[in-house]
Structure 1
């Protein structure tokens, strides 16, 4: 369960990072006006013409806002991953301590059981010896 949780938080962190990179690239492309890859937006701009400056400015502001939110999300996910790693280490240490205690208890119980079985065996042989001596 610890590994699955770690994988899930790591996956969420990677998704947030990819989203942030995508938003930064979109903002850069919008600011410079140069599109590096094929996009339908670039195709519509060629067909219908460029956007109005107000629309472009509004989209740029929106992308900046989304970028800042993405940076916050990445920071939160990074902190969550670090916190999870710390908790996992403490859980592992606690597990090792509990394992040692459980093993010690099991060995003590086994030793006590062996002692009681030996005492019963001695008692059976003593009773058998007394029976033979009485004959």
Structure 2
């Protein structure tokens, strides 16, 4: 059986978008995908409004902490999804790179963050289907 695919979500602070995306992928794909998230300039803690709107979905991310983006994390990932961090993410051959343009939830109210959350969920659901079909960049079937 092939190794499971790995996905890295990257945003600037690793306090909002990438935390929501990694939580959804873990929730929807379970143990079948290795999930990472990181930030180019990580915050001290996850945005409390993000924690709140994810709790509405039954997903508890209150214990998560922002992590710094490392070259090792990128090298260890099959799919790298950036969310507004620009060109700070190192590029390696053989990886699938996606750029999800999403509003930053920083400083936003609950209603605005819910919209971002719902967009992320839809994109993660599509990603899960692509990974299940083996479209992660390496051509193997996963999930």
TM-score when normalising by structure 1: 0.31
Q: Which has the higher contact order (CA 8 A, sep 6+)?
A: 1
Larger of the two Rg values belongs to structure: 1
TM-score by length of 2: 0.29
More strand, by proportion: 2
Q: Say which structure is richer in helix.
A: 1
